[in-house]
Amino acid sequence: MNAPYGSLIKEVFSNADTIIDRFHLSQLVTRSLNQTRIKLMNRYDTSNSEDKKIYRKLKAYWKLLLKNKTDLS
């Protein structure tokens, strides 16, 4: 939940409990991971062949970071 929205809800509904469901928690974690991955990717110089290899791996295999370790082969 974004901060201004949370503040407004607490002000309007002062006695209510705040609940965050699994979907939105998972969405938040996934978005944060992708933002961090993209920042890391932007640090690599794609004109350098070694950096380009790492960049391509981060771009191609990003879904592996989200998988359960028991599902990896």
Q: Where are the domains of the chain?
A: 44-73
pLDDT top residue among 17 and 25: 25
**Per-residue pLDDT at 20 exceeds 70:** yes
**Per-residue pLDDT at 2 exceeds 90:** no
CA angle 53, 35, 64 (to 5 degrees): 55
Could you read off the pLDDT of 27-52 as tens digits, one per residue?
999 999 999 999 999 998 888 899 99
Tokens, residue 28: 């938040």
Supply the pLDDT for residue 1. 60
- Distance between terminal CA atoms of the chain? 35
Supply the pLDDT for residue 12. 92
58 and 41 Cβ atoms separated by less than 8 Å:
yes
